[in-house]
Structure 1
Amino acid sequence: MTELVVAQSRIPAMSAQAIQRVRALEAVLLGLPQVPIATEHVLHGGMYARTICIPAGVVLTGAFIRIPTLLVFDGHATVNTGEDAAELQGYHVLAASAHRRQAFIAHADTRLTMVFATQAQTVAEAEDEFTDEAHLLFSRQPGAVNHINITGE
């Protein structure tokens, strides 16, 4: 594990091989009981923010992110950073590059907020903008819990 990512406050783009490893992990995890995770969405002032809380002890894989975003992290988790992993604890604002598919192991309840500039008017438009895998998002699953705030500003 490395502290390099923390020191640079950055999550880099990932290689095709690193992304494939996350997909392989996801295939294994799908065979285990799934933990429902609510999503908070805010569309305001040309920005979209989505927040989730990963409960302690949960391993989560995210959808492929095709655009650069900010990732606000608050908690304690190990995150893959491509060829390596970093343990993050506390509050971090990370510049997260395009072309990544993260995996997190939450050691304590961990909140993640992803933010990016957008012209989207709906949550579905914003989700389709940041990923080609919107169908995999918790927010799109049957019975999903979504809290949505669209201000119109």
Structure 2
Amino acid sequence: MLDPAGGSSALRRTLHQRGLRMTPQRQLVLDAVRTLGHATPEQICTEVQRAAPAVNITTIYRTLDLMERIGLVRHTHLGHGAPTYSEQEHQHVHLVCHSCGTVTEAATDLMDGLTRRLRSDIGFELDPSHVALSGMCSTCRETTPEELS
């Protein structure tokens, strides 16, 4: 888990244990993930480049991959585009409106019934914090004629 004060002690400790260094680029990527909440690698790159214009997208992808392997961030596919990254501790179900693209967060316990059923019926262990459900948000449902929804 990341510490709330700076977010880098867990990363620094884990990197050191693996014989790796904490680089300014790694710190910038971690800071961007924390600042943005949910972000694609491209959005993270744009945020990082505000402080370090020379950092390229390849560095962002490599750093995100490393951080995911050591358990500090996770990715979720919220649709057809690039995955979004967030802190590992940031766990919830994503509700994606296929009409306007709004992403809403819902508590993972809403998936408890499905999680139990998948486990008992077919032996599948669902990670509800890594799920994106597609549908239509309440705003779009109110403004879309019933025959189109």
Shorter-chain TM-score category? under 0.3
Higher share of residues assigned helix: 2
TM-score normalised by length of structure 2: 0.22
Q: Which has the larger radius of gyration?
A: 2
Work out which structure has the larger RCO, using CA pairs closer than 8 Å and 6 or more positions apart in sequence: 1
